[in-house]
Amino acid sequence: MTSVRPYQDQGAAPRPGLRERKRRRTLSDIQGEALRLFVAQGYEQTTIEQIAEAAEVSPSTVFRYFATKEDLVLTDEYDPVILASLAAGPLGEPAITAMRRVLTETLAEIVEQDPRCS
């Protein structure tokens, strides 16, 4: 007899717990506010304090999620997925082939699983 998981697809990963959902939301809020401020007033003119205030967190919370101001631009929530897929590839795979494979596989998975992509 097959067990049916309520409220999720058979192949879907389990929904993250409350703590992880809050962590992701905070990370997204901080980065979103930072990018908004960078566009509005420029990267150099934007301070961590302004970003923290806009995201309604403390400056230390910003640094808990992003080690540097540059990481606010360079860090992506999908980086770990991309890196894992890259590491799982065949040894000796040419770099451009590996990146094409990883991006194709990863983006397809992200679009399929992330409700924001609908």
DSSP codes joined into one string, 40-60: HH-TTT--HHHHHHHHTS-HH
Provide, rounded to the nearest whole percent, the portion of the chain with pLDDT above 90. 52
Confidence of residue 96 (pLDDT cuts 50, 70, 90): very high
pLDDT at 118: 63
pLDDT at 76: 80
The pLDDT of residue 102 is above 60: yes
Query: What whole-number distance in Å separates Cα of residue 21 and Cα of residue 39?
Result: 27
pLDDT at 59: 97
Convert the pLDDT of each residue in 21-78 to its tens digit.
899 899 999 999 999 999 999 999 999 999 999 999 999 999 999 999 999 999 887 7
